Amino acid sequence: MEKWKQDFLEWIDFKSNDYHPFVWIRGEPKIGKNVYIGFFTTINAKDSNIEIGDYCDIAPFVSINCADSHKRCIGLLDDIERQPIIIENNVFIGSHSVIKAGAYIGHHSVIAAATVVDPVKIPPYSLVIGNPMKVKEGYYKSKLEEIGKLE
């Protein structure tokens, strides 16, 4: 690794990774096989659990963050709240999306660009859009059935 890159990673407290020099990962997330993570994406698994399944595609500028400090900042809590995040297999997450602590995204789901995913369980094959998010459950299940890829 080039010296400037090593110096930069030490300075910002992020480990080098196999995705892109400007993908920033804190903690020890579990990332499956054949996962693409776009540049300027941050994954914060510090002191919590983040699992990303196989064959996921995470576009650039996505934030996946297990921590929420707003209650600490305004004096309601003494510590940062942390919750796990689970992203099952074959999930696409569009650019500029935010995956909040406590989110669970079912397999074969699509998170549209600029969507804020709340700490809820999203069923498989869903299309999730917007802020506030709207979940279209089973949206891709019928599409896959129509072309014979799902029985």
State whether residue 72 is helix, strand or coil.
helix
**CA 132 to chain CA centroid, nearest Å:** 17
Interatomic CA distance for residues 125 and 143, integer angstroms: 9
Contact partners, residue 21, CB within 8 Å, separation at least 6? 5
Nearest to 26 by CA among 34, 15, 39, 38: 15
Q: CATH class for domain 3-146?
A: mainly beta
Output the pTM of the full model. 0.89
> What is the predicted pLDDT for the residue at 124?
98
Q: Does residue 44 contact residue 26 with C-beta atoms inside 8 Å?
A: yes
Q: What is the mean pLDDT of the chain?
A: 93
pLDDT tens digits for range 43-60: 999 999 999 999 999 999
Interatomic CA distance for residues 119 and 43, integer angstroms: 16
Q: What values do phi and psi take at 85, rounded to 5?
A: -130, 130
Average pLDDT over residues 114-131: 98
DSSP of 123-134? PTT-EEETTTTE
